[in-house]
Amino acid sequence: MLDPKRLSVVFAVAMLPALLAQGPSSDVLVIEGGTLVDGRGGAPVRDALIVVEGNIIKTVTRKGQAAYPSGARVIRADGKFIVPGLMDAHVHYGEWLPELFLAYGVTSIFEIGGGGEWAVAQRDATARGKIPGPRQFVAVGSLAGARIAALGGVTAAEGMLRSRFVVDTPARARDVVKRYIAAGANMIKVHRGPPMDVYEAAADEAHRAGLPVVAQALGPTVYAREAVLAGADILEHAAGVSYSIAKDPAKWKGWGNLEEHSLDPSPFADMDDAKTADLIRLLVQHHVYLEPDLIAQGRGLQKVRERYELQDYRVLADPGLAYIPERSRLKWLQNFSEFDGEERGVVELREKGWQNSMRFLREFVNAGGKVLVGTDASYNGWATPGIGLHHELDLLVDTGMTPLQSITAATRNIAEGFRILDKLGTIEPDKLADLVVVNDDPLADIRNLLKIEYVIKDGNVVDRTFHSWFRNPLPDNALEGATWVAAVKKEIESMRTTAFGQPPPAIESISPTIVAEGSPALTVTIKGAGFTRRSRVSFDGKPVSFRRVSDTELKATIDAELLARAGTFAVTVTNPEPLQRPQWGGTSNRAYLLVNFK
C-alpha cells in the first residue's frame, strides 16, 4: 500500500488543475464564444455563452446576452466547438483506467459488468473527489442462466455481490434485483441464459425502481425479440439481433454458448430482409436502444484498421502511462490482428456478417431507432479505453449516420436510455456541467472530436496529462484464484487426516467485503477449505486474532486501528509446516477487504 502522506500529496496534485479552474474568488466558470452543439439534435449555435456555477450549468445563451461575475474563470472559445461530455455506454471498469477516459473527453461511463461493492465504492469515491476519473454508473452484478456456471463463467457466492448470480426462477430474479438495488445499482443487467419468465420478473422489478434493464440476450431461449417483449431497455452488443433475423435460426442455435461468439458478427451473414424490417419495427415500437460495440465486433475487419492501431500505439507509448500493465497493452493492440491467420472461409463469413451488421444499424437509425455508443472497454477488453470511443464514433459514421447523430448517440441517447437525461446528456440549464471543447468542427468530420482543447467535468477543467505516479487509492478487491481454490478443495477431499501434515488453505469468500474508514473493530467471516487448529489469519500482512468454527469457516477480528484509513487490504490464511501437499504451498489465495472512504 502507498504511504498515506504520499497518497495525500499525489491526489492533491491530481486535483490541483480542477481547483485552479474555479478561480481564486469565484466558483463560476464561463465559456464564451465558440459554436455550441448541445446534444439535443438541433442546429449548432454560434457565439455561445455558457455560465457554470459550481458543477451546474446555469445559463446557455449567446455571447453578450448575459452577465457573469467579474471574478469568474473565463474560457475564450471563439473558433472552437463545444459538445456535451462524451459517454461510454459499455465499460468494465479497472482501477487504472480513469486518466485514459478523461483525457479523451469521456466524462461518464456505464459499468455494466460485475464490479460488486468495489464498483460502487469507485463510483462514490470519484463523485466525492477522492479519486479523479469519469462519472460512473454501475450495475453491481448481473443475472445469468445456469449454463454460465456450467460453461465455467464466474458466478457470485451467496455472501457476495460480485459478478453473476445464477437465476432460474422469477422469484429468485426478484430477490437478486432487489439485492442489487439495495446495494446502489444504477441499472439491472441480465446476462446470457435465463429463461423468458426470469427476464420478465427482473424487468418488472427494475422498472418499479425506475431503473433500466441492460440485456445480453444470446439464448438459449431468449434472443433479441424475446428480450424486447420481456421488457429489456438496452441490448448490449446488439445481442441476439443477428439470431432473431437469421434466415435459418437452427443454423445458429447455441451460438451464444461461447464468450467469443457474443462479439462475432458471423450470424449477420445469414440476414433475412423481411425479418430485419419486422425486428426493427418491434425495437422502435418498444423504444429499445441498441449498443452495438462496433469497435469490438469488427476487430481488424475495419477498413481503417491501421489508423486505429497506430493511434492506440501512440497513446500507449506515452511514458505517463507507465503504470498500465503490459498484459493490457498487448491485449488492446492485438485486438486488431485477432482474426489474422484464420481460415479464409471463416474470415469471409465474418466480413459478410460485419457488413450486414453495419447495414442493419443504418436501417434501424433510418427507421427512428436509437443507438448508444459503447466500446466494451476494460483492462483486457476489446478497445483501448478513451480513444476507443472515438473509433466507435467514426464507425457509426461509416454506417451512414451523420456526425451529429453519432455525437447524439454518445451523449443524449445514452442519458435517455439509462434514465438520467434530467442530469446529463445535453448542454442545458440545471444540468451537470460536463462539456468538451474541441478546436475544429466535429459536424464536418467526426474525427475532429479528437482535437480536444478542454475537458470539463463537474464544472472543473480536467488535467488531461497522464501521470506515471498515478495509483488508485482503492485497488480492485476481486478474490484471487477462483480456479485455484476449486482445485485445492478437490485436493483436500483426498486427505483424510492431518497426521501426515497440514492441508493447503483456500479462501472462497469473506464477509463483509467492504466497510468505511474509521469503523470500530470488525468480525470477518472467512469461508473456504483447509482451515485447522494451527491455521493463522493475517490482515494487510499483520496477524490478527480469530476463532475456528470449522475446517471451512473462520471468524477473524480486525481491530479498529487497522480500519483507520481507506484502502484495499489482503486477508490470508496460513498453515504451518509440515504440509501434506507442499506443492500447493502453505498460504491461501488473497481475499480483500475494501475500506471505503468515509
Using CA atoms, how far apart are residues 60 and 36, in angstroms rounded to an integer?
A: 9
- The amino acid present at 326, given as its one-letter code, is E
- The amino acid present at 537, given as its one-letter code, is V
Helix 305-316 and helix 387-398, axial crossing angle in degrees, nearest 10: 170
Using CA atoms, how far apart are residues 194 and 168, in angstroms rounded to an integer?
A: 6
Q: What is the pLDDT of residue 147?
A: 65
Whether the CA torsion 380, 386, 391, 393 is positive or negative: it is positive
Radius of gyration of the chain (CA): 25
Class of domain 482-596: mainly beta
- The beta strands (E) that lie in 104-237 are given as 106-111, 135-138, 142-144, 164-166, 188-190, 213-215, 234-236
Using CA atoms, how far apart are residues 115 and 206, in angstroms rounded to an integer?
A: 19
Closest among 226, 223, 222 to 242, alpha carbons compared:
223
DSSP assignment of 512-528 equals --EEETT---EEEEEEE
Contact 66, 426 (CB under 8 A): no
Using CA atoms, how far apart are residues 325 and 323, in angstroms rounded to an integer?
A: 6
Per-residue pLDDT of the chain (598 residues; tens, 9 = 90+): 334 434 433 343 344 343 333 333 469 999 999 999 999 988 999 999 999 999 999 999 999 999 999 999 999 999 999 999 999 999 999 999 999 999 999 999 999 988 899 999 999 999 999 999 999 999 999 999 986 554 444 454 545 676 788 999 999 999 999 999 999 999 999 999 999 999 999 999 999 999 999 999 999 999 999 999 999 999 999 999 999 999 999 998 888 777 777 888 999 999 999 999 999 999 999 999 999 999 988 887 877 888 999 999 999 999 999 999 999 999 999 888 877 878 889 889 999 999 999 999 999 999 999 999 999 999 888 899 999 999 999 999 999 999 999 999 999 999 999 999 999 999 999 999 999 999 999 999 999 999 999 999 999 999 999 999 999 999 998 888 888 898 999 888 887 666 688 999 999 999 999 999 999 999 999 999 999 999 999 999 999 999 999 999 999 999 999 999 999 999 999 999 999 989 999 999 999 999 999 8
Sequence ranges of the domains in the chain: 85-400, 482-596
The DSSP secondary-structure symbol of 124 reads H
Interacting residues of 72 by C-beta distance below 8 A, sequence separation 6+: 23, 26, 28, 29, 30, 51
Instruction: Retrieve residue 532's grid coordinates.
Output: 485447522
Query: What region, left, alpha or beta, does residue 54 occupy, with left being phi > 0 and alpha being psi -120 to 50 degrees?
Result: left
> Which residue intervals of 81-139 are DSSP H helices?
98-103, 116-127
- The amino acid present at 598, given as its one-letter code, is K
Closest among 591, 592, 589, 590 to 504, alpha carbons compared:
589
Overall size of the chain counted in residues: 598
Contact 187, 212 (CB under 8 A): yes
Q: What is the pLDDT of residue 567?
A: 96
Whether the CA torsion 112, 117, 118, 120 is positive or negative: it is positive
Bridge-partner residues for 60, per DSSP?
50
Instruction: Retrieve residue 12's grid coordinates.
Output: 492533491
The DSSP secondary-structure symbol of 18 reads H
Find the Cα–Cα–Cα–Cα dihedral 60, 64, 67, 68, rounded to 10°: 70
The yes or no reply on domain 85-400 and CATH 3.20.20.140 is: yes
Using CA atoms, how far apart are residues 192 and 219, in angstroms rounded to an integer?
A: 6
Closest among 180, 188, 207 to 120, alpha carbons compared:
180
Instruction: Retrieve residue 89's grid coordinates.
Output: 455506454
Contact 438, 81 (CB under 8 A): yes
Q: In what order do the strands lie in the sheet with 522-529?
A: 506-511, 522-529, 553-558, 546-550
Interacting residues of 61 by C-beta distance below 8 A, sequence separation 6+: 48, 49
Q: What is the pLDDT of residue 503?
A: 93
Closest among 288, 184, 277, 269 to 231, alpha carbons compared:
288
